[in-house]
Structure 1
Amino acid sequence: MSTVTNQAVGKVTRTRGSRAWRPYLYHIIVGLLSLLMIYPILWMAASSLKPNSEIFTQAYTLIPSKLEWNNYVSGWKGIGGISFATYYKNSFIIVIFATIGSVLSSALVAYGFARIKFFGSAFWFGCVMMTLMLPHDVTIIPQYIMFAKLQWLSSFKPLIVPFFFGVPFFIFLIMQFIRTIPHELDEAAKMDGCSKYGIFFRIILPLIVPALVTATIFSFYWRWEDFFNAVLYLNKAQMYPVSLALKMFLDGESISNWGGMFAMATLSLVPVILVFLIFQKYIVEGISTSGLKG
Protein backbone atom coordinates (compact mmCIF):
# COMPACT_ATOMS: atom_id res chain seq x y z
CA MET A 1 0.00 0.00 0.00
CA SER A 2 2.82 2.38 0.88
CA THR A 3 4.53 1.62 -2.46
CA VAL A 4 1.40 2.57 -4.42
CA THR A 5 1.04 5.75 -2.38
CA ASN A 6 4.66 6.72 -3.00
CA GLN A 7 4.24 6.13 -6.73
CA ALA A 8 1.10 8.28 -6.80
CA VAL A 9 2.82 11.07 -4.87
CA GLY A 10 5.82 10.92 -7.22
CA LYS A 11 3.56 11.12 -10.28
CA VAL A 12 1.72 14.15 -8.87
CA THR A 13 5.04 15.84 -8.05
CA ARG A 14 6.35 15.27 -11.59
CA THR A 15 3.09 16.59 -13.05
CA ARG A 16 3.27 19.74 -10.95
CA GLY A 17 6.94 20.17 -11.88
CA SER A 18 6.17 19.96 -15.61
CA ARG A 19 3.28 22.40 -15.24
CA ALA A 20 5.47 24.85 -13.36
CA TRP A 21 7.70 25.18 -16.42
CA ARG A 22 4.85 25.89 -18.83
CA PRO A 23 4.46 29.64 -18.03
CA TYR A 24 8.21 30.16 -18.43
CA LEU A 25 8.26 28.25 -21.71
CA TYR A 26 5.26 30.23 -22.93
CA HIS A 27 6.90 33.58 -22.13
CA ILE A 28 10.17 32.53 -23.75
CA ILE A 29 8.42 31.54 -26.98
CA VAL A 30 6.29 34.70 -27.03
CA GLY A 31 9.37 36.82 -26.30
CA LEU A 32 11.30 35.28 -29.20
CA LEU A 33 8.38 35.75 -31.58
CA SER A 34 7.98 39.37 -30.43
CA LEU A 35 11.68 40.00 -31.03
CA LEU A 36 11.35 38.50 -34.49
CA MET A 37 8.42 40.80 -35.29
CA ILE A 38 10.07 44.02 -34.07
CA TYR A 39 13.50 43.21 -35.52
CA PRO A 40 12.85 45.21 -38.74
CA ILE A 41 12.02 48.27 -36.61
CA LEU A 42 15.15 47.77 -34.51
CA TRP A 43 17.21 47.40 -37.69
CA MET A 44 15.74 50.60 -39.11
CA ALA A 45 16.44 52.54 -35.92
CA ALA A 46 19.99 51.18 -35.80
CA SER A 47 20.56 52.00 -39.48
CA SER A 48 19.46 55.58 -38.85
CA LEU A 49 22.58 55.97 -36.66
CA LYS A 50 25.03 54.36 -39.11
CA PRO A 51 27.09 56.02 -41.85
CA ASN A 52 25.75 55.37 -45.35
CA SER A 53 28.73 53.12 -46.10
CA GLU A 54 27.85 50.76 -43.22
CA ILE A 55 24.08 50.47 -43.57
CA PHE A 56 24.19 47.55 -46.02
CA THR A 57 27.78 46.38 -45.67
CA GLN A 58 27.24 45.71 -41.95
CA ALA A 59 23.55 44.98 -42.04
CA TYR A 60 24.01 41.89 -39.88
CA THR A 61 24.73 43.95 -36.76
CA LEU A 62 22.49 46.40 -34.93
CA ILE A 63 25.39 48.20 -33.24
CA PRO A 64 26.91 51.05 -35.32
CA SER A 65 30.68 51.49 -35.34
CA LYS A 66 29.99 55.15 -34.52
CA LEU A 67 26.80 57.10 -33.89
CA GLU A 68 25.99 59.20 -36.94
CA TRP A 69 23.57 61.75 -35.46
CA ASN A 70 24.06 63.89 -38.57
CA ASN A 71 21.59 61.59 -40.35
CA TYR A 72 18.77 63.17 -38.35
CA VAL A 73 20.07 66.66 -39.09
CA SER A 74 20.40 66.07 -42.83
CA GLY A 75 17.09 64.20 -42.94
CA TRP A 76 15.20 66.97 -41.15
CA LYS A 77 16.53 69.50 -43.66
CA GLY A 78 14.52 67.63 -46.26
CA ILE A 79 14.92 67.62 -50.03
CA GLY A 80 14.97 70.51 -52.48
CA GLY A 81 14.86 73.20 -49.83
CA ILE A 82 11.68 71.80 -48.24
CA SER A 83 12.11 70.95 -44.57
CA PHE A 84 10.76 67.67 -43.22
CA ALA A 85 8.69 69.77 -40.82
CA THR A 86 6.56 70.71 -43.85
CA TYR A 87 5.86 67.06 -44.57
CA TYR A 88 4.94 66.46 -40.94
CA LYS A 89 2.56 69.43 -41.06
CA ASN A 90 0.92 68.10 -44.25
CA SER A 91 0.49 64.65 -42.72
CA PHE A 92 -1.12 66.05 -39.57
CA ILE A 93 -3.49 68.22 -41.63
CA ILE A 94 -4.65 65.21 -43.65
CA VAL A 95 -4.79 62.81 -40.69
CA ILE A 96 -6.60 65.14 -38.26
CA PHE A 97 -9.34 66.35 -40.60
CA ALA A 98 -9.86 62.95 -42.26
CA THR A 99 -10.06 61.24 -38.87
CA ILE A 100 -12.53 63.75 -37.46
CA GLY A 101 -14.73 63.44 -40.54
CA SER A 102 -14.64 59.65 -40.71
CA VAL A 103 -15.35 59.06 -37.00
CA LEU A 104 -18.16 61.61 -36.58
CA SER A 105 -19.93 60.75 -39.83
CA SER A 106 -19.62 57.01 -39.18
CA ALA A 107 -21.03 57.45 -35.67
CA LEU A 108 -24.03 59.35 -37.02
CA VAL A 109 -24.72 56.76 -39.73
CA ALA A 110 -24.27 53.91 -37.24
CA TYR A 111 -26.78 55.56 -34.90
CA GLY A 112 -29.30 55.76 -37.73
CA PHE A 113 -28.97 52.07 -38.57
CA ALA A 114 -28.98 50.95 -34.92
CA ARG A 115 -31.76 53.11 -33.49
CA ILE A 116 -33.94 54.61 -36.23
CA LYS A 117 -36.43 52.45 -38.11
CA PHE A 118 -36.91 53.46 -41.73
CA PHE A 119 -37.99 51.75 -44.95
CA GLY A 120 -35.20 49.72 -46.58
CA SER A 121 -32.78 50.01 -43.66
CA ALA A 122 -31.68 46.38 -44.02
CA PHE A 123 -31.09 46.86 -47.75
CA TRP A 124 -29.02 50.01 -47.30
CA PHE A 125 -27.04 48.48 -44.48
CA GLY A 126 -26.32 45.51 -46.74
CA CYS A 127 -25.09 47.91 -49.43
CA VAL A 128 -22.78 49.57 -46.92
CA MET A 129 -21.37 46.22 -45.82
CA MET A 130 -20.91 45.10 -49.44
CA THR A 131 -18.51 47.99 -49.99
CA LEU A 132 -16.17 46.29 -47.51
CA MET A 133 -15.75 43.49 -50.05
CA LEU A 134 -15.19 45.90 -52.95
CA PRO A 135 -11.49 46.00 -53.94
CA HIS A 136 -9.94 49.45 -53.78
CA ASP A 137 -8.50 48.96 -57.28
CA VAL A 138 -12.03 48.99 -58.74
CA THR A 139 -12.75 52.53 -57.50
CA ILE A 140 -9.43 54.17 -58.38
CA ILE A 141 -10.27 55.30 -61.93
CA PRO A 142 -13.88 56.47 -61.24
CA GLN A 143 -12.74 58.44 -58.20
CA TYR A 144 -9.85 60.01 -60.08
CA ILE A 145 -12.15 61.09 -62.92
CA MET A 146 -14.67 62.50 -60.44
CA PHE A 147 -12.03 64.47 -58.52
CA ALA A 148 -10.51 65.71 -61.77
CA LYS A 149 -13.88 67.09 -62.91
CA LEU A 150 -14.29 68.74 -59.50
CA GLN A 151 -10.81 70.25 -59.99
CA TRP A 152 -9.64 68.80 -56.71
CA LEU A 153 -6.38 67.36 -58.02
CA SER A 154 -3.16 68.63 -56.44
CA SER A 155 -5.00 69.46 -53.23
CA PHE A 156 -5.80 67.81 -49.91
CA LYS A 157 -9.52 67.56 -50.73
CA PRO A 158 -9.47 64.02 -52.26
CA LEU A 159 -7.64 62.82 -49.15
CA ILE A 160 -10.03 64.44 -46.66
CA VAL A 161 -13.53 65.17 -48.01
CA PRO A 162 -14.59 61.56 -48.87
CA PHE A 163 -14.14 60.53 -45.24
CA PHE A 164 -16.87 62.95 -44.14
CA PHE A 165 -19.39 60.51 -45.65
CA GLY A 166 -18.69 57.55 -43.38
CA VAL A 167 -16.35 54.55 -43.40
CA PRO A 168 -18.09 51.14 -43.62
CA PHE A 169 -15.82 49.40 -41.13
CA PHE A 170 -16.31 52.17 -38.55
CA ILE A 171 -20.08 52.18 -39.17
CA PHE A 172 -20.27 48.47 -38.41
CA LEU A 173 -17.96 48.77 -35.38
CA ILE A 174 -19.86 51.66 -33.79
CA MET A 175 -23.29 50.22 -34.65
CA GLN A 176 -22.47 46.99 -32.81
CA PHE A 177 -21.43 49.07 -29.81
CA ILE A 178 -24.65 51.12 -29.88
CA ARG A 179 -26.73 47.94 -29.91
CA THR A 180 -25.34 47.05 -26.48
CA ILE A 181 -26.86 50.25 -25.00
CA PRO A 182 -30.34 49.66 -23.49
CA HIS A 183 -33.27 51.15 -25.44
CA GLU A 184 -34.78 52.30 -22.16
CA LEU A 185 -32.30 55.18 -22.14
CA ASP A 186 -33.71 56.39 -25.46
CA GLU A 187 -37.27 56.15 -24.17
CA ALA A 188 -36.40 58.10 -21.03
CA ALA A 189 -34.74 60.81 -23.14
CA LYS A 190 -37.84 61.03 -25.37
CA MET A 191 -40.04 61.53 -22.33
CA ASP A 192 -37.78 64.44 -21.36
CA GLY A 193 -38.34 66.02 -24.77
CA CYS A 194 -35.13 65.02 -26.56
CA SER A 195 -35.20 64.74 -30.33
CA LYS A 196 -33.34 62.02 -32.22
CA TYR A 197 -30.33 64.29 -32.54
CA GLY A 198 -30.58 65.16 -28.85
CA ILE A 199 -30.56 61.47 -27.94
CA PHE A 200 -27.53 60.93 -30.12
CA PHE A 201 -25.46 63.81 -28.77
CA ARG A 202 -26.58 63.64 -25.12
CA ILE A 203 -27.11 59.92 -24.54
CA ILE A 204 -25.46 57.77 -27.19
CA LEU A 205 -22.31 59.73 -27.97
CA PRO A 206 -20.94 59.81 -24.38
CA LEU A 207 -21.56 56.06 -24.02
CA ILE A 208 -19.73 55.01 -27.19
CA VAL A 209 -16.43 56.74 -26.40
CA PRO A 210 -14.43 53.44 -26.45
CA ALA A 211 -15.71 52.64 -29.95
CA LEU A 212 -15.02 56.21 -31.11
CA VAL A 213 -11.47 56.09 -29.76
CA THR A 214 -10.90 52.72 -31.44
CA ALA A 215 -12.10 54.12 -34.77
CA THR A 216 -9.93 57.20 -34.25
CA ILE A 217 -6.82 55.09 -33.69
CA PHE A 218 -7.44 52.95 -36.77
CA SER A 219 -8.17 56.02 -38.89
CA PHE A 220 -5.00 57.71 -37.63
CA TYR A 221 -2.88 54.68 -38.58
CA TRP A 222 -4.46 54.23 -42.01
CA ARG A 223 -4.24 57.89 -42.99
CA TRP A 224 -0.72 58.32 -41.63
CA GLU A 225 0.69 55.45 -43.68
CA ASP A 226 -1.34 56.17 -46.83
CA PHE A 227 1.08 56.34 -49.73
CA PHE A 228 -0.95 55.40 -52.78
CA ASN A 229 -3.61 58.12 -52.58
CA ALA A 230 -0.98 60.75 -51.85
CA VAL A 231 1.09 59.84 -54.91
CA LEU A 232 -2.10 59.69 -56.99
CA TYR A 233 -3.56 63.09 -56.15
CA LEU A 234 -0.62 65.24 -55.01
CA ASN A 235 1.93 66.43 -57.56
CA LYS A 236 3.63 69.26 -55.67
CA ALA A 237 6.51 68.41 -53.34
CA GLN A 238 5.49 71.06 -50.80
CA MET A 239 2.17 69.21 -50.33
CA TYR A 240 3.64 65.74 -49.77
CA PRO A 241 2.89 63.90 -46.50
CA VAL A 242 5.55 61.96 -44.60
CA SER A 243 4.75 58.67 -46.32
CA LEU A 244 5.48 60.14 -49.74
CA ALA A 245 8.35 62.41 -48.67
CA LEU A 246 10.44 59.42 -47.52
CA LYS A 247 10.73 58.25 -51.11
CA MET A 248 12.40 61.53 -52.09
CA PHE A 249 15.57 60.52 -50.23
CA LEU A 250 16.17 57.84 -52.87
CA ASP A 251 17.66 59.05 -56.12
CA GLY A 252 18.39 56.59 -58.91
CA GLU A 253 20.76 58.99 -60.69
CA SER A 254 22.92 60.06 -57.74
CA ILE A 255 23.84 58.95 -54.21
CA SER A 256 20.78 58.14 -52.09
CA ASN A 257 20.65 59.49 -48.55
CA TRP A 258 19.87 56.18 -46.88
CA GLY A 259 20.87 57.40 -43.45
CA GLY A 260 18.59 60.43 -43.65
CA MET A 261 15.72 58.31 -44.95
CA PHE A 262 16.02 55.76 -42.13
CA ALA A 263 16.30 58.60 -39.61
CA MET A 264 13.10 60.26 -40.83
CA ALA A 265 11.36 56.87 -41.11
CA THR A 266 12.21 56.29 -37.45
CA LEU A 267 10.83 59.70 -36.52
CA SER A 268 7.67 58.97 -38.51
CA LEU A 269 6.92 56.10 -36.12
CA VAL A 270 6.94 58.38 -33.06
CA PRO A 271 3.32 59.64 -33.46
CA VAL A 272 2.11 56.11 -34.18
CA ILE A 273 3.81 54.66 -31.09
CA LEU A 274 2.59 57.50 -28.86
CA VAL A 275 -1.01 57.08 -30.03
CA PHE A 276 -0.85 53.34 -29.36
CA LEU A 277 0.70 53.69 -25.91
CA ILE A 278 -1.82 56.32 -24.82
CA PHE A 279 -4.98 54.70 -26.19
CA GLN A 280 -4.15 50.98 -26.34
CA LYS A 281 -6.73 50.03 -23.68
CA TYR A 282 -9.51 51.52 -25.80
CA ILE A 283 -8.60 49.30 -28.77
CA VAL A 284 -9.30 46.10 -26.82
CA GLU A 285 -12.34 47.55 -25.05
CA GLY A 286 -13.88 48.96 -28.22
CA ILE A 287 -13.44 45.81 -30.30
CA SER A 288 -14.41 43.32 -27.57
CA THR A 289 -17.52 45.25 -26.48
CA SER A 290 -18.64 45.76 -30.07
CA GLY A 291 -18.81 42.01 -30.54
CA LEU A 292 -21.03 41.24 -27.55
CA LYS A 293 -24.27 41.55 -29.44
CA GLY A 294 -24.99 41.02 -33.13
Structure 2
Amino acid sequence: MIAKKWRWPIYHIAAAGGAILMIYPVIWLLMSSFKKSETIFTTANSLIPDKWIWTNYSDGWAGIGGHSFGTYITNTLVLVVLATIGAVLSSALVAFGFGRLNFRGKKFWFAIMMVTLMLPHDVTLVPQYILFSKLHWLNSIKPIVIPAYFGAPFFIFLMVQFIRTLPGELDEAATIDGCGKFRLFYRIILPLIIPAMATAAIFSFYWRWEDLIGPLLYLNKPSMYTVSMALKMYLDAETLSNWGAMFAMSIVSLIPVFAIFFFFQKHIVEGISTSGLK
Protein backbone atom coordinates (compact mmCIF):
# COMPACT_ATOMS: atom_id res chain seq x y z
CA MET A 1 0.00 0.00 0.00
CA ILE A 2 1.20 3.49 -0.86
CA ALA A 3 1.74 5.66 2.19
CA LYS A 4 -0.97 8.28 2.60
CA LYS A 5 1.49 11.16 2.44
CA TRP A 6 2.67 10.02 -1.03
CA ARG A 7 -0.77 9.65 -2.57
CA TRP A 8 -1.27 13.38 -3.08
CA PRO A 9 1.98 14.07 -5.03
CA ILE A 10 1.69 10.83 -7.03
CA TYR A 11 -1.88 11.66 -8.00
CA HIS A 12 -1.00 15.19 -9.12
CA ILE A 13 2.11 14.08 -10.99
CA ALA A 14 0.09 11.44 -12.85
CA ALA A 15 -2.67 13.96 -13.59
CA ALA A 16 -0.14 16.51 -14.86
CA GLY A 17 1.51 13.89 -17.06
CA GLY A 18 -1.84 12.89 -18.51
CA ALA A 19 -2.75 16.53 -19.13
CA ILE A 20 0.54 17.17 -20.94
CA LEU A 21 0.01 14.05 -23.05
CA MET A 22 -3.50 15.18 -24.02
CA ILE A 23 -2.55 18.78 -24.79
CA TYR A 24 0.65 17.95 -26.70
CA PRO A 25 -1.08 17.81 -30.14
CA VAL A 26 -2.39 21.34 -29.57
CA ILE A 27 1.09 22.51 -28.54
CA TRP A 28 2.56 20.87 -31.64
CA LEU A 29 -0.09 22.58 -33.79
CA LEU A 30 0.68 25.96 -32.22
CA MET A 31 4.44 25.61 -32.70
CA SER A 32 4.01 24.35 -36.26
CA SER A 33 1.98 27.43 -37.13
CA PHE A 34 5.19 29.45 -36.75
CA LYS A 35 7.30 27.21 -39.01
CA LYS A 36 7.96 27.13 -42.73
CA SER A 37 5.71 24.67 -44.50
CA GLU A 38 8.62 22.60 -45.82
CA THR A 39 10.14 22.11 -42.33
CA ILE A 40 7.02 21.15 -40.38
CA PHE A 41 7.18 17.41 -41.05
CA THR A 42 10.93 16.95 -41.11
CA THR A 43 12.04 14.45 -38.47
CA ALA A 44 15.16 16.44 -37.61
CA ASN A 45 13.17 19.54 -36.76
CA SER A 46 12.47 20.25 -33.09
CA LEU A 47 9.20 21.26 -31.52
CA ILE A 48 10.36 24.86 -31.11
CA PRO A 49 10.80 26.65 -34.46
CA ASP A 50 14.36 27.57 -35.44
CA LYS A 51 12.96 30.68 -37.05
CA TRP A 52 9.57 32.10 -36.14
CA ILE A 53 7.48 32.73 -39.26
CA TRP A 54 4.84 35.23 -38.14
CA THR A 55 3.67 35.79 -41.69
CA ASN A 56 1.83 32.45 -41.59
CA TYR A 57 -0.96 34.21 -39.71
CA SER A 58 -1.17 37.18 -42.04
CA ASP A 59 -1.01 34.92 -45.11
CA GLY A 60 -3.64 32.63 -43.66
CA TRP A 61 -5.95 35.48 -42.67
CA ALA A 62 -5.70 36.87 -46.20
CA GLY A 63 -7.69 33.80 -47.11
CA ILE A 64 -8.04 31.93 -50.34
CA GLY A 65 -10.45 32.05 -53.24
CA GLY A 66 -10.70 35.83 -53.07
CA HIS A 67 -12.15 35.90 -49.55
CA SER A 68 -10.44 36.54 -46.21
CA PHE A 69 -10.55 33.99 -43.41
CA GLY A 70 -12.76 36.42 -41.50
CA THR A 71 -15.47 35.78 -44.09
CA TYR A 72 -15.34 32.05 -43.41
CA ILE A 73 -15.50 32.60 -39.63
CA THR A 74 -18.51 34.88 -40.06
CA ASN A 75 -20.26 32.31 -42.27
CA THR A 76 -19.61 29.59 -39.71
CA LEU A 77 -20.83 31.69 -36.79
CA VAL A 78 -24.08 32.54 -38.58
CA LEU A 79 -24.72 28.91 -39.48
CA VAL A 80 -23.77 27.57 -36.05
CA VAL A 81 -25.78 30.12 -34.06
CA LEU A 82 -28.94 29.68 -36.13
CA ALA A 83 -28.72 25.88 -36.08
CA THR A 84 -27.90 25.75 -32.37
CA ILE A 85 -30.84 27.97 -31.40
CA GLY A 86 -33.18 25.80 -33.44
CA ALA A 87 -31.81 22.50 -32.14
CA VAL A 88 -31.94 23.53 -28.47
CA LEU A 89 -35.40 25.14 -28.46
CA SER A 90 -37.09 22.46 -30.57
CA SER A 91 -35.46 19.66 -28.57
CA ALA A 92 -36.64 21.27 -25.31
CA LEU A 93 -40.22 21.42 -26.60
CA VAL A 94 -40.19 17.78 -27.75
CA ALA A 95 -38.54 16.68 -24.50
CA PHE A 96 -41.31 18.41 -22.55
CA GLY A 97 -43.87 16.37 -24.46
CA PHE A 98 -42.10 13.08 -23.76
CA GLY A 99 -41.25 13.95 -20.17
CA ARG A 100 -44.46 15.53 -18.94
CA LEU A 101 -47.41 14.85 -21.27
CA ASN A 102 -49.42 11.65 -21.70
CA PHE A 103 -50.57 10.84 -25.23
CA ARG A 104 -51.36 7.79 -27.30
CA GLY A 105 -48.27 5.99 -28.58
CA LYS A 106 -45.89 7.91 -26.33
CA LYS A 107 -43.62 4.94 -25.61
CA PHE A 108 -43.64 3.88 -29.26
CA TRP A 109 -42.61 7.30 -30.58
CA PHE A 110 -39.99 7.67 -27.87
CA ALA A 111 -38.54 4.30 -28.90
CA ILE A 112 -38.52 5.39 -32.55
CA MET A 113 -36.70 8.56 -31.55
CA MET A 114 -34.11 6.54 -29.62
CA VAL A 115 -33.59 4.20 -32.58
CA THR A 116 -32.57 7.18 -34.71
CA LEU A 117 -29.64 7.66 -32.33
CA MET A 118 -28.23 4.37 -33.57
CA LEU A 119 -28.76 5.23 -37.25
CA PRO A 120 -25.42 6.13 -38.89
CA HIS A 121 -25.39 9.64 -40.30
CA ASP A 122 -23.88 8.39 -43.57
CA VAL A 123 -27.01 6.33 -44.28
CA THR A 124 -29.19 9.44 -44.49
CA LEU A 125 -26.87 11.58 -46.63
CA VAL A 126 -28.17 10.46 -50.04
CA PRO A 127 -31.91 10.58 -49.21
CA GLN A 128 -31.47 14.00 -47.59
CA TYR A 129 -29.54 15.34 -50.57
CA ILE A 130 -32.25 14.16 -52.97
CA LEU A 131 -34.96 15.72 -50.80
CA PHE A 132 -33.18 19.07 -50.47
CA SER A 133 -32.41 19.06 -54.19
CA LYS A 134 -36.11 18.69 -55.02
CA LEU A 135 -36.88 21.51 -52.59
CA HIS A 136 -34.30 23.69 -54.42
CA TRP A 137 -32.38 24.27 -51.20
CA LEU A 138 -28.94 23.46 -52.58
CA ASN A 139 -26.21 26.10 -52.38
CA SER A 140 -27.79 27.63 -49.27
CA ILE A 141 -27.65 27.12 -45.52
CA LYS A 142 -31.25 25.85 -45.44
CA PRO A 143 -30.35 22.11 -45.56
CA ILE A 144 -28.05 22.61 -42.57
CA VAL A 145 -30.09 25.03 -40.47
CA ILE A 146 -33.78 24.20 -41.02
CA PRO A 147 -33.61 20.47 -40.02
CA ALA A 148 -32.18 21.60 -36.68
CA TYR A 149 -35.54 23.19 -35.86
CA PHE A 150 -37.17 19.74 -35.73
CA GLY A 151 -35.18 18.54 -32.73
CA ALA A 152 -32.05 16.46 -32.21
CA PRO A 153 -32.51 12.95 -30.71
CA PHE A 154 -29.50 13.14 -28.38
CA PHE A 155 -30.55 16.52 -27.00
CA ILE A 156 -34.15 15.34 -26.61
CA PHE A 157 -33.02 12.31 -24.63
CA LEU A 158 -30.72 14.47 -22.48
CA MET A 159 -33.51 16.92 -21.64
CA VAL A 160 -36.12 14.20 -21.05
CA GLN A 161 -33.84 12.67 -18.43
CA PHE A 162 -33.43 16.07 -16.82
CA ILE A 163 -37.15 16.86 -16.86
CA ARG A 164 -37.95 13.53 -15.20
CA THR A 165 -35.93 14.62 -12.15
CA LEU A 166 -38.21 17.64 -11.59
CA PRO A 167 -41.00 17.15 -9.01
CA GLY A 168 -44.39 16.46 -10.54
CA GLU A 169 -45.96 18.66 -7.86
CA LEU A 170 -44.75 21.67 -9.83
CA ASP A 171 -47.07 20.72 -12.70
CA GLU A 172 -50.01 20.20 -10.36
CA ALA A 173 -49.48 23.56 -8.64
CA ALA A 174 -49.15 25.37 -11.97
CA THR A 175 -52.29 23.69 -13.32
CA ILE A 176 -54.26 24.73 -10.23
CA ASP A 177 -53.07 28.30 -10.82
CA GLY A 178 -54.52 28.15 -14.33
CA CYS A 179 -51.45 27.36 -16.43
CA GLY A 180 -52.05 25.58 -19.71
CA LYS A 181 -49.60 23.09 -21.19
CA PHE A 182 -47.65 25.62 -23.22
CA ARG A 183 -47.52 28.12 -20.35
CA LEU A 184 -46.39 25.33 -18.05
CA PHE A 185 -43.58 24.66 -20.48
CA TYR A 186 -42.16 28.16 -20.87
CA ARG A 187 -42.95 29.48 -17.36
CA ILE A 188 -42.10 26.46 -15.20
CA ILE A 189 -40.15 23.75 -17.03
CA LEU A 190 -38.03 25.85 -19.38
CA PRO A 191 -36.29 27.91 -16.65
CA LEU A 192 -35.51 24.74 -14.70
CA ILE A 193 -33.85 22.89 -17.58
CA ILE A 194 -31.43 25.71 -18.42
CA PRO A 195 -28.40 23.53 -17.43
CA ALA A 196 -29.47 20.78 -19.85
CA MET A 197 -30.17 23.34 -22.58
CA ALA A 198 -26.76 24.92 -22.02
CA THR A 199 -25.12 21.50 -22.35
CA ALA A 200 -27.02 20.85 -25.58
CA ALA A 201 -26.02 24.28 -26.91
CA ILE A 202 -22.35 23.63 -26.19
CA PHE A 203 -22.36 20.24 -27.91
CA SER A 204 -24.32 21.64 -30.86
CA PHE A 205 -21.82 24.47 -31.21
CA TYR A 206 -18.85 22.07 -31.21
CA TRP A 207 -20.37 19.58 -33.65
CA ARG A 208 -21.52 22.20 -36.14
CA TRP A 209 -18.36 24.28 -35.92
CA GLU A 210 -16.21 21.33 -36.99
CA ASP A 211 -18.71 19.86 -39.48
CA LEU A 212 -17.29 19.40 -42.96
CA ILE A 213 -19.67 16.99 -44.68
CA GLY A 214 -22.77 19.20 -44.51
CA PRO A 215 -21.18 22.39 -45.90
CA LEU A 216 -19.23 20.35 -48.45
CA LEU A 217 -22.46 18.85 -49.82
CA TYR A 218 -24.67 21.93 -49.86
CA LEU A 219 -22.42 25.01 -50.15
CA ASN A 220 -20.85 25.53 -53.56
CA LYS A 221 -19.92 29.23 -53.57
CA PRO A 222 -16.58 30.19 -51.96
CA SER A 223 -18.28 33.22 -50.41
CA MET A 224 -20.46 30.82 -48.37
CA TYR A 225 -17.70 28.43 -47.24
CA THR A 226 -17.24 27.61 -43.55
CA VAL A 227 -14.06 27.37 -41.50
CA SER A 228 -13.68 23.62 -42.03
CA MET A 229 -13.95 24.03 -45.81
CA ALA A 230 -11.54 26.99 -45.81
CA LEU A 231 -8.89 24.98 -43.96
CA LYS A 232 -9.22 22.20 -46.53
CA MET A 233 -8.58 24.71 -49.31
CA TYR A 234 -5.03 25.35 -48.04
CA LEU A 235 -4.13 21.79 -49.05
CA ASP A 236 -3.53 21.06 -52.71
CA ALA A 237 -2.61 17.59 -53.96
CA GLU A 238 -1.16 18.97 -57.20
CA THR A 239 0.91 21.88 -55.90
CA LEU A 240 2.69 22.80 -52.68
CA SER A 241 0.32 22.87 -49.72
CA ASN A 242 0.52 25.87 -47.42
CA TRP A 243 0.74 23.95 -44.15
CA GLY A 244 1.98 26.93 -42.17
CA ALA A 245 -1.02 29.09 -43.06
CA MET A 246 -3.43 26.21 -42.52
CA PHE A 247 -2.04 25.47 -39.04
CA ALA A 248 -2.11 29.18 -38.20
CA MET A 249 -5.78 29.44 -39.13
CA SER A 250 -6.46 26.18 -37.29
CA ILE A 251 -5.24 27.89 -34.14
CA VAL A 252 -7.47 30.89 -34.88
CA SER A 253 -10.46 28.60 -35.43
CA LEU A 254 -9.86 26.97 -32.04
CA ILE A 255 -10.24 30.26 -30.16
CA PRO A 256 -14.08 30.28 -30.20
CA VAL A 257 -14.14 26.60 -29.21
CA PHE A 258 -11.87 27.12 -26.20
CA ALA A 259 -13.73 30.30 -25.23
CA ILE A 260 -17.09 28.52 -25.25
CA PHE A 261 -15.69 25.61 -23.25
CA PHE A 262 -14.06 27.66 -20.49
CA PHE A 263 -17.03 30.00 -20.21
CA PHE A 264 -19.68 27.27 -20.01
CA GLN A 265 -17.72 24.30 -18.67
CA LYS A 266 -19.72 24.10 -15.43
CA HIS A 267 -22.93 23.67 -17.42
CA ILE A 268 -21.53 20.56 -19.15
CA VAL A 269 -21.20 18.64 -15.88
CA GLU A 270 -24.37 20.10 -14.39
CA GLY A 271 -26.44 19.29 -17.46
CA ILE A 272 -25.21 15.75 -18.00
CA SER A 273 -25.49 14.84 -14.33
CA THR A 274 -29.24 15.64 -14.54
CA SER A 275 -29.15 16.78 -10.95
CA GLY A 276 -32.59 18.39 -11.06
CA LEU A 277 -33.56 20.99 -8.49
CA LYS A 278 -30.97 22.31 -6.06
Alignment TM-score, normalising by the size of structure 2: 0.96
Of 30, 37, 55 in structure 1, the residue corresponding to residue 40 of structure 2 is 55
SS of residue in 1 equivalent to 2:273: helix
Q: Does 1:188 align with 2:160?
A: no
Aligned counterparts of 2:276 and 2:211: Cα–Cα separation in 1: 28
Q: Deviations over 1:170-211 (max 9, x none)?
A: 001001111111111111111111111101100011111100
Q: Does 1:96 align with 2:73?
A: no
Whether the 8 Å CA contact 2:83–2:145 is kept in 1: the answer is yes
Q: Deviations over 1:216-263 (max 9, x none)?
A: 000000000001111111111111100111011112222221111000
Q: Does 1:31 align with 2:16?
A: yes
Q: Which amino acid aligns with 1:32?
A: G
Kindly indicate which of the two structures has a greater share of residues assigned to helix. Answer: 1
Root-mean-square deviation (Å): 1.6
Of 120, 145, 161 in structure 1, the residue corresponding to residue 130 of structure 2 is 145
Deviation at 1:53, TM superposition (A): 3.0
Whether the 8 Å CA contact 1:249–1:260 is kept in 2: the answer is yes
SS of residue in 2 equivalent to 1:74: helix
Aligned counterparts of 2:276 and 2:187: Cα–Cα separation in 1: 24
Q: Which amino acid aligns with 2:164?
A: R
Of 178, 196, 217 in structure 1, the residue corresponding to residue 202 of structure 2 is 217
Whether the 8 Å CA contact 2:163–2:276 is kept in 1: the answer is no
Aligned counterparts of 2:98 and 2:130: Cα–Cα separation in 1: 31
Q: Where does residue 74 of structure 1 map in the other structure?
A: 59
Aligned counterparts of 1:188 and 1:61: Cα–Cα separation in 2: 67
SS of residue in 2 equivalent to 1:82: coil
Aligned counterparts of 1:273 and 1:290: Cα–Cα separation in 2: 25
Q: Deviations over 1:124-167 (max 9, x none)?
A: 00000000011112111110100000011111011111110000
Q: Which shifted more, 244-253 or 166-175?
A: 244-253
Structure 1 unaligned residues grouped into runs of 5+: 1-14
Q: Where does residue 161 of structure 1 map in the other structure?
A: 146
Deviation at 1:23, TM superposition (A): 2.2
Q: Does 1:244 align with 2:229?
A: yes
Change (3 A) 1:121 1:59: farther
Q: Which amino acid aligns with 2:65?
A: G
Deviation at 1:33, TM superposition (A): 1.8
Q: Does 1:18 align with 2:6?
A: no
Whether the 8 Å CA contact 1:174–1:290 is kept in 2: the answer is no
Identity %: 61
Structure 2 unaligned residues grouped into runs of 5+: none
Deviation at 1:290, TM superposition (A): 5.8
Of 268, 274, 284 in structure 1, the residue corresponding to residue 259 of structure 2 is 274
Aligned counterparts of 2:147 and 2:185: Cα–Cα separation in 1: 23
Q: Where does residue 7 of structure 1 map in the other structure?
A: none
Q: Does 1:40 align with 2:25?
A: yes
Whether the 8 Å CA contact 1:105–1:164 is kept in 2: the answer is yes
Query: After the TM superposition, which segments of 4 or more aligned residues of structure 1 sit over 6 Å from their partners?
Result: none
Q: If you compute each CA radius of gyration, which structure gives the higher value, 1 or 2?
A: 1
Q: Which amino acid aligns with 2:210?
A: E
